[in-house]
Amino acid sequence: MVDILLLEDDKVLSKEIRSFLLSQGFTCDQAFDGIEFLAKTHQKKYGFYLLDINVPKINGLEICKKIRSHDAFTPIIILSAYDDIDDKKEAFLRAADDYLVKPFVLDELLMRIYSLLRRQQHSESNETKTWVVDDLIIYPDEARVLRANEEINLTQKEFQLLLILAQAKGRTLSKQHISEEVWQNQFQTTQNTIEVYINFLRKKIDKNFENKLIHTRPGFGYYLSAEK
């Protein structure tokens, strides 16, 4: 059973979503503004967050940012009436996992919840494994990265990108594969977005080291290797 915390100021919609999730075997607590939401997170540990953007006191995007400042892995779906790509990008930049535009069918919400929970379970199955490439060490269970014993600070998406490259064990990953694994194709990820994040990683992982680990295979994608 997964405990879900729902942030939605429309009480009719909130009740509808909660009743549906309860019927599917989840537990679901409600919050109607950002302050109430944060108070509930301090009282109980939740396994999933559903966040409306336009709510009183603290909006859903700021709540998402606050969650990600200390919790990189609990799934977050943004529920919003805003269908503009800039709004989706804002959610993406705050490391939300998915974005669902209102009005939506509750069965679609359920499918997206199940999808993210499956991905989380798959990720957790690898959490005890430490990934080592040359002098780079990745600790998935702690979301920590060291290179030559130096701590490397990564954002959530940077960490996810680095981890899937490490898990590929030197195989080249296409941009399409990276988009599916890291962004779940929910934010209309462009090739440029992935190139930007690869460059972010290179600046943090490779820039200050002679041996470069992140490589491009032109026309195919990217891979992580200790090759000279």
Q: What pLDDT is recorded for position 228?
A: 57
Across 34-38, 49-53, 89-93, 197-201, least confident range: 89-93
Residue 222 reports pLDDT greater than 60: yes
Cis upstream peptide for 56 (omega within 30°) = no
Q: Where are the domains of the chain?
A: 3-124, 131-224
Q: What pLDDT is recorded for position 226?
A: 84
Cα(15)–Cα(25) distance, integer angstroms: 16
CATH class assigned to 131-224: mainly alpha
Q: What is the pLDDT of residues 132-181, one digit of tens each?
A: 888 899 988 788 899 988 899 998 889 999 999 998 888 999 988 898 88
Q: What pLDDT is recorded for position 186?
A: 55
Q: What pLDDT is recorded for position 107?
A: 95
Which helix (H) or strand (E) segment holds residue 216: the answer is strand 214-217
* Exposed / middle / buried, residue 95 (Cβ in 10 Å: 0-12, 13-18, 19+): buried
What's the maximum distance between 2 C-alpha atoms anywhere in the chain? Answer: 60
Cα(228)–Cα(225) distance, integer angstroms: 9
The mean per-residue pLDDT over the stretch 172-192 comes to 77
Q: What is the pLDDT of residues 46-99, one digit of tens each?
A: 999 999 999 999 999 999 989 987 787 789 999 999 998 888 888 888 888 899
- Looking at the chain, the whole-number percentage of residues with pLDDT higher than 90 is 58
Q: What pLDDT is recorded for position 36?
A: 97
Residue 212 reports pLDDT greater than 60: yes
The CATH number for 3-124, chosen from 3.30.565.10, 3.40.640.10, 3.40.50.720, 3.40.50.2300, is 3.40.50.2300
| Distance linking the first and last C-alpha atoms of the chain | 48
- What are the DSSP E strand ranges found in 32-130? 48-52, 76-80, 98-101
Q: What pLDDT is recorded for position 10?
A: 97
- Asked if 29 and 40 touch (Cβ cutoff 8 Å), the reply is yes
Cα(115)–Cα(185) distance, integer angstroms: 12
Q: What is the pLDDT of residues 100-116, one digit of tens each?
A: 999 999 999 999 999 88
Q: What pLDDT is recorded for position 188?
A: 54
Q: What is the dihedral of CA 33, 39, 44, 46, to 10 degrees?
A: 40
Cα dihedral 19, 7, 55, 188 sign: negative
Cα(162)–Cα(157) distance, integer angstroms: 9
- What are the DSSP E strand ranges found in 47-194? 48-52, 76-80, 98-101, 131-133, 136-139, 144-147, 150-152
